[in-house]
Amino acid sequence: MRKLKIDKRIGMTKTDMEFLLKRAMPFFGVEELKVDWSKSKETYPDIWCFPAQRRIVVTQEWKNQNVNERRKRLVHELLHFKGMEHGKKGHLEYSTFPWKDTYSKKVYRDIVGAGIW
């Protein structure tokens, strides 16, 4: 049974939770995940993770993104859980900067299927 624990202060949408529990966690083979809230008002970073603790932290800036961008940024962190490091991935880039992060976008598309984004 997969375990997903979300800090209530995030006010995460039900569909974002379902994306994590039913799509992303199975895709990455992650059995336990905790999503915590940071009060940081910075625009960058807006999300980060502690892979050993199976923990992701999000901020208001993350919340301000549209649904696909929010989920792409979660995917970016879950890739770190798998030991991925930033850098070129073929013609794509796994970048710490969301606007350059074409690799996480591709993986997000792989998870949700073509045509969504």
Q: Which residues bind Zn ion (CB under 5 A)?
A: 96
**Beta carbon of residue 94, minimum distance to Zn ion (angstroms, whole number):** 7
Closest alpha carbon to 44 in 67, 60, 66: 60
Q: How far is the CB of 116 from Zn ion (least distance, A)?
A: 22
Six-digit token string for 96: 């710490």
Give min distance, CB of 8 to Zn ion, in A: 26
Closer CB to Zn ion, 72 or 111, in the complex: 72
Please state the closest distance from residue 14 (CB atom) to Zn ion, in A: 26
What is the Cα–Cα distance from 58 to 45, expressed in whole angstroms? 9
What is the token pair recorded at 50?
């502690």
Q: Which is nearer to Zn ion, 53 or 96 (CB)?
A: 96
Query: What phi and psi, each to the nearest 5 degrees, are found at residue 38?
Result: -120, 140
Phi, psi of 87 (to 5 degrees): 150, 180
Identify the DSSP state of 99: G
